Amino acid sequence: MTTRIDRRMAKLKAEGRPALVTYFMGGDPDYDTSLSIMKALPGAGSDIIELGMPFSDPMADGPAIQAAGLRALKGGQTLVKTLKMASEFRAGDNETPIVLMGYYNPIYIHGVDRFLSDALASGIDGLIVVDLPPEMDEELCIPALKAGINFIRLATPTTDDKRLPKVLQNTSGFVYYVSMTGITGSALADTGKVAAAVTRIKGHTDLPVCVGFGVKTAEQARVIGANADGVVVGTAIVNAVANVLGPKGEKTADPAEAVATLVSGLSQGVRAARLAAAE
């Protein structure tokens, strides 16, 4: 069974360039604005969309994504609305993969079976659930795979060669390599070490390896994209939204346009990645 993620990754591999994976927070700062951001992403150069599901207690996220989640919750975002956003997007774009990213509790409360059927109906292709390590695979990972939704696992610098097979075992779509030990939005790790880690993971799997945490600029996207199959950018996008919000949350410019400008630049970075590497 191939998913939109598999097809998109295969296409980019044929084109000889890495994927630009863009994370934004669903419902930040409100549903309509957030949907307009989502719709602007593919045109600006995003290859895969990570749709953030806000959670009150995002333990692996830095201040920027925490604040975005709180803005979204304050704006009335719920898991049901996040899924609705995906299906509204899907109505106009049946190609760009959508990966839901967040924490387990809202899914657990919605009900795993109900969530999976709602997610499929909304055109969701993959899931990244930060607080479900392989030890908890029975909770959601196995049911998701049975339902035909990719379960994308995080591998980290603390995932050694002995543990890596366990992490990769039920992973599909792609592997998300977390460039550092830390939270989202921290400074980018030593890119040499990241490249070595990507090579190490590729020794264990044929799945594409995307790298995230700390990538903020086109130049960083170019460097990381030289040997990764994809580059994930999140905090910088969330900040682009925050930067056009005034002290009371009022919009001082169009958030969708601000995000599109940033993503276009990042897209130039990933498109230059292999050219530079070939030099």
Asked if 115 and 129 count as a contact pair (C-beta separation under 8 A), the reply is no
C-beta of 88: minimal distance to another protein in Å? 19
Q: For this structure, is 93 an active site residue?
A: no
Helices (H), the chain: 4-15, 31-44, 63-74, 79-90, 104-110, 112-121, 141-147, 164-168, 191-202, 218-225, 235-243, 255-278
Q: Residue 56: CB partners within 8 Å, gap ≥ 6?
A: 69, 70, 73
Of 130, 147, 188, 195, the one binding another protein (CB under 8 A) is 130
Q: Kindly tell me which residue out of 136, 253, 276, 277 binds another protein, with binding defined by CB under 8 A.
A: 136
Q: What angle do CA 36, 42, 44 make, to 5 degrees?
A: 85
Contacts of another protein in 166-205 (CB under 8 A): 167, 178, 181-183, 186
Question: CA nearest 11: which of 109, 95, 90?
Answer: 95
Q: What angle do CA 108, 109, 111 make, to 5 degrees?
A: 65
Q: Find the part of the chain contacting another protein (CB under 8 A) among 4-12, 99-107, 196-204, 260-268.
A: 99-107
142 touching another protein, by CB under 8 A: no
- Cβ 131 to another protein, closest distance in Å? 4
Candidate list 3, 36, 87, 105; residue touching another protein; CB under 8 A: 105
55 binds another protein (CB under 8 A): yes
The residues that bridge with 265 in the sheet, in sequence order, are: none
Binding of residue 156 to another protein (CB under 8 A): yes
Instruction: Tell me: does residue 225 bind another protein (CB under 8 A).
Output: no
**Interface with another protein by CB under 8 A: which range of 31-39, 125-133, 203-211, 214-222?**
125-133
Q: Which residue has the tokens 């295969």?
A: 10
| DSSP class of 12 | H
Q: How far is the CB of 264 from another protein (least distance, A)?
A: 31
- Residues in a beta bridge with 99: 50, 126
Tokens at 279, concatenated: 């030099």
Min dist CB 255 to another protein, Å, is: 23
Catalytic residue among 28, 47, 50, 137: 50
- Least distance in angstroms from the C-beta of 50 to another protein: 16
- Told to judge if 61 belongs to the known catalytic residues of this protein, a careful annotator would answer yes
Q: Which residues are catalytic?
A: 50, 61
Where on the chain is the footprint of another protein (CB under 8 A)?
55-60, 62-63, 66, 70, 73, 78-80, 103-110, 130-136, 153-160, 163, 167, 178, 181-183, 186
